Structure formats: structure tokens, C-alpha cells
């Protein structure tokens, strides 16, 4: 129950409108709980109807995506784009291709994206899209035909000044290439800035691939330094997932002096007490889209265990959940706390359930929420858009330097915001408030209707 009657009304309305959208309710409630701490000081939000407007997407598009599989059979998937908020810039956010995709998941992701993009300080609104299409086990040709059909419809809703999609789970360089090719063909225009995460030879940015994982470590490093006078040096790290975010978080944490001992996929996890050999992981995951199990067959001394949740039984100083939403519940969080973990930073979007976050915060474990900790991906997408507008490409060092500055600034902004709200160290509160206030002020100054 929220303290503020106004916020409780907003929440009840969101739930009543879409009773089945559990992930969306979860994201909205976490946000409203933060707002509850400051709403008394801002009567203008209720007077002008800001919060009820903020939790309702500007536009939701759903469409059918028919495509022909390798057997010549027609398959039909569902495509979506949730254009949530465009107050501070064109809609911006990734596309997820995964069988679990539905409107609840995309609305939660689009909602978080508004706050995340605001925290980057770059001019990007919030959106998310995708499909229940599963790229796993599909041939390149099937993925291409699916992407072409998806873009044939999506193209009428996007543009470099309108809405700029990118990747997320199931959408990487291969998919972005096919999507971009179809946009260019259908529209007859070479607008590189319409998508981000592109290949380097057609408008992509250096560091975009590494950005989410690197950014996660830059922010975590700053959090450790400011809040504990500590660093990654000599620490044991467990990272769930083994996709793009996990791989480059593993690389950066290792570069910063830590030892990463476990990674997972949706089937199970590997444990390598000597420290993960990332070349092997890259070969398996990026080289031939294999399963993480293969690592244990190839690297002596490592083990594979079925079931992805078991990874959190591996003791660590720093936990970086980089798999998917709601992976860590209260019970797993208690295990993590008991092992003496000092910091948890979310690389995936909303990997920790609300009761898990409470466990961490009560136990004094440093906790960095996704909308701040994993903002490096979209921040570098913003840098890709800048480079596309200039028709110019910065060096790796230049983009990396900017990414690091952005992540460091995000940490300090949310840390300061938490302190100003009277809850020093509560980075969930800090991220929600700092992300929201900027967008809310712009909504007020532009007028809502």
C-alpha cells in the first residue's frame, strides 16, 4: 500500500486496466514506491496529472509478422512496439525476440527505458519492441525472412527523429543487419540513424557491442569506490547469463582485477574456480551460438550443473545478474547475502524481484538497479546516433572514454538524489527520482495535451 492516496489511485488504475500485466505492475509499483517519498513536496504532479500520464504509453503498436520457414510453411508471429514517452527525445529502446515476449514484458521494459534513457543525460525518449519469435534453432535464412517481414510493418512507425530501435535479447548484429537492409530497401533512403547496434561498416559505433557489460562494471567500480572505498581488484565475481552483456561484463571485471568464476544460460551454469577463460566462452557463444555446457567439456577443472538458478550457490564478493528478468527471488537473495557478497549490480533488466532487493538493502549489500547499472548500452546507442548525425566515427578510446564518463556521472547523480531524499545509499530511490524528475519537468513545460 502506498502512502500517497494519489499514487495508490494511479497504481490501482494501472492494475485494473491491464490485470494480466504482472511484470509491468512490478516495474510501476517499484517506481511509485520511490515517488511516494517525495510526492508531498510536489503537489504539481497531481494537479497536472503527471504520474497517471507517465505510466500510460503514448502509443502501443501490435502487428502480425508472417514469414516462410525452410520447409516452405507459413509461420505467423506477433510484433510489437511500445512507444512509451517522447518528451525528451525520439523514442529509443531495443527489440527483443524471445518466445516469452508479450505486452506486459514490453511495457515494463519500455517504462524502465524512459527512466534509464533520462539518466544517460542524452536526448532519448523511452520505447521497447519485439516479437514472440524465437531465433534459437532457426537458420540464417529464416531469421532474415522473419526480420524482413517484421521491418516491412515496423518501418512506417520509426525514423531517426521518430523512434530508433536497437537490440535486446535475441537481437544482435545479425538481426540488426537484416532489419536495416529491409528499412533501406522499403524506404529508399539511407538513414543510418534509424537503428543502433549496426555493423561498423554501415554506421555502427565502436564499443556498442561491449557497452552494456563495460558500463555495468564502470558503474559498479564507482559505487564500490565511493560507498566502500573498495574496487574490483582481487574480488570473486559471479555473472549470470552468457550473452552479450555477461560476456563483456566478464571481460571488463577481469581487466579491473577481479576473478569471474561462474556464468550460466537458460539450461544451467558453469563454475571455473581458476577464473573463466573468456576466449572459450566467446568461441561457444559468439562463434557458433552454442550452449554454455560445452565449456565444461573443453576446460579441465571446470564443472557444469543443470538448472540456471544454482549459479547463486557459488560464493562471490560481487554478483552481476545479466540473464533476464525476475531471476533472483527472496530466497536466492538470502543465499547471496549469507555468502558475504558486498555488491549486486543488475546487468539484465529487472533481474531481482522486489523482495530480493529488500533483502540486499536490509543486509547493507550495495545494490545498483538496472536502469542505472545497465544504461551503458543505450548510452552508447545515443553516441552512435550522434556519430550518424555527424557522418563521422569516433575511435574506440573516444567512445569508451565517453561511456565511462556517462556511467560515472549516472552513479553520482543517483547517489546524490538518494541523499537529497533523505535515504543515503538507496540507489533504487535515487535512480527512480533522478530519472523521473527530468522527464516530468519537461512534460510540465511542454504541456501534456
Residues of the shown chain interacting with ligand GLU in the complex, contacts defined by CB under 6 A: 92-94, 116, 166, 168, 196, 349, 377-378, 381
DSSP element (H, E) containing 433:
helix 427-446
How far is it, in rounded angstroms, from Cα 378 to Cα 118? 11
**What is the nearest approach in angstroms of ligand GLU to the Cβ of residue 170?**
11
Angle CA(195)–CA(197)–CA(198) in degrees, nearest 5?
75
**What is the nearest approach in angstroms of ligand GLU to the Cβ of residue 274?**
32
Cβ contacts of 131 within 8 Å, gap of 6 or more: 65, 77, 78, 79, 80, 95, 96, 97, 101, 146, 150
**What is the nearest approach in angstroms of ligand GLU to the Cβ of residue 350?**
10
Residue 371, SS3 per DSSP: helix
Report the residue number, 245 or 253, with the smaller CB distance to ligand GLU.
Answer: 245
**What is the nearest approach in angstroms of ligand GLU to the Cβ of residue 24?**
15
Report the residue number, 210 or 317, with the smaller CB distance to ligand GLU.
Answer: 210
Cβ contacts of 423 within 8 Å, gap of 6 or more: 37, 429, 430
Cβ–Cβ < 8 Å for 118, 88: yes
Q: Which of 107, 128, 138, 285 is catalytic?
A: 128
Report the residue number, 92 or 98, with the smaller CB distance to ligand GLU.
Answer: 92
How far is it, in rounded angstroms, from Cα 397 to Cα 383? 13
How far is it, in rounded angstroms, from Cα 339 to Cα 223? 20
- The neighbouring-strand residues paired with 318 are 237, 343
**What is the nearest approach in angstroms of ligand GLU to the Cβ of residue 364?**
28
| Residue 235 annotated among the catalytic residues of the structure | no
Report the residue number, 123 or 330, with the smaller CB distance to ligand GLU.
Answer: 123
Q: State the residue number with the nearest CB to ligand GLU.
A: 94
How many Cβ atoms from other residues are within 10 Å of residue 389's Cβ?
11
Residue given cell 521494459 in the structure block: 109
**What is the nearest approach in angstroms of ligand GLU to the Cβ of residue 260?**
22
Residue 195, SS3 per DSSP: coil
Q: Which of 377, 389, 449, 436 is nearest to 112 (CA)?
A: 436
C-alpha pair distances (Å), 225 with each of 96, 343, 350? 34, 11, 24
Report the residue number, 196 or 264, with the smaller CB distance to ligand GLU.
Answer: 196
Report the residue number, 302 or 381, with the smaller CB distance to ligand GLU.
Answer: 381
**What is the nearest approach in angstroms of ligand GLU to the Cβ of residue 349?**
5
How far is it, in rounded angstroms, from Cα 167 to Cα 173? 8
Report the residue number, 204 or 430, with the smaller CB distance to ligand GLU.
Answer: 204
Residues annotated as catalytic are 128
Amino acid at each position: 500500500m502506498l502512502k500517497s492516496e494519489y499514487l495508490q489511485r494511479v497504481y490501482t488504475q494501472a492494475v485494473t486496466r491491464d490485470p494480466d500485466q504482472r511484470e509491468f505492475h512490478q516495474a510501476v509499483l517499484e517506481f511509485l514506491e520511490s515517488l511516494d517519498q517525495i510526492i508531498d513536496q510536489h503537489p504539481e504532479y497531481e494537479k497536472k496529472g503527471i504520474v497517471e500520464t507517465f505510466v500510460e504509453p503514448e502509443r502501443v503498436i501490435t502487428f502480425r509478422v508472417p514469414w516462410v520457414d525452410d520447409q516452405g510453411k507459413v509461420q505467423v508471429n506477433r510484433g510489437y512496439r511500445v512507444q512509451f514517452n517522447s518528451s525528451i527525445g525520439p523514442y529509443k529502446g531495443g527489440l527483443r525476440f524471445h518466445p516469452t515476449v508479450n505486452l506486459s514484458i514490453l511495457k515494463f521494459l519500455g517504462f524502465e527505458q524512459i527512466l534509464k534513457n533520462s539518466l544517460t543525460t542524452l536526448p532519448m525518449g523511452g520505447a521497447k519492441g519485439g516479437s514472440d519469435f524465437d531465433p534459437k534453432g532457426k537458420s540464417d535464412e529464416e531469421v532474415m525472412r522473419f526480420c524482413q517481414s517484421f521491418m516491412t510493418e515496423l518501418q512506417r512507425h520509426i525514423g531517426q527523429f521518430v523512434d530508433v530501435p536497437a537490440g535486446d535479447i535475441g537481437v544482435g548484429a545479425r538481426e540488426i543487419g537484416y532489419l536495416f537492409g529491409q528499412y533501406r530497401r522499403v524506404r529508399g533512403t539511407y538513414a543510418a540513424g534509424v537503428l543502433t547496434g549496426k555493423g561498423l561498416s554501415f554506421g555502427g559505433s565502436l564499443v556498442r557491442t561491449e557497452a552494456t557489460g563495460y558500463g555495468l562494471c564502470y558503474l559498479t567500480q564507482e559505487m564500490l569506490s565511493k560507498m566502500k572505498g573498495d574496487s574490483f581488484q582481487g574480488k570473486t565475481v559471479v555473472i549470470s547469463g552468457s550473452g552479450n552483456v555477461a560476456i563483456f561484463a566478464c571481460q571488463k571485471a577481469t581487466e579491473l582485477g577481479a576473478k569471474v568464476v561462474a556464468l550460466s544460460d537458460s539450461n544451467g551454469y558453469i563454475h571455473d574456480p581458476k577464473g573463466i577463460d573468456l576466449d572459450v566462452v566467446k568461441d561457444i557463444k559468439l562463434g557458433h551460438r552454442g550452449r554454455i555446457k560445452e565449456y565444461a567439456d573443453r576446460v579441465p577443472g571446470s564443472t557444469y550443473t543443470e538448472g540456471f538458478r544454482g549459479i547463486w550457490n557459488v560464493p562471490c564478493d560481487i554478483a552481476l545478474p545479466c540473464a533476464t528478468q525476475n531471476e533472483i527471488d527472496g530466497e536466492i537473495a538470502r543465499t547471496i547475502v549469507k555468502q558475504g557478497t558486498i555488491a549486486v549490480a543488475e546487468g539484465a533488466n529487472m533481474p531481482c524481484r522486489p523482495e530480493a532487493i529488500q533483502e540486499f538493502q536490509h543486509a547493507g549489500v550495495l545494490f545498483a538497479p538496472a536502469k542505472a547499472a545497465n544504461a551503458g548500452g543505450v548510452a552508447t546507442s545515443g553516441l552512435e546516433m550522434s556519430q550518424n548525425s555527424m557522418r563521422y566515427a569516433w575511435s574506440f578510446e573516444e567512445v569508451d572514454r565517453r561511456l565511462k564518463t556517462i556511467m560515472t556521472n549516472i552513479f553520482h547523480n543517483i547517489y546524490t538524489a538518494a541523499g537529497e531524499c533523505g535515504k543515503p545509499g538507496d540507489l533504487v530511490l535515487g535512480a527512480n527520482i533522478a530519472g523521473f524528475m527530468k522527464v516530468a519537468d519537461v512534460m510540465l513545460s511542454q504541456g501534456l495535451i
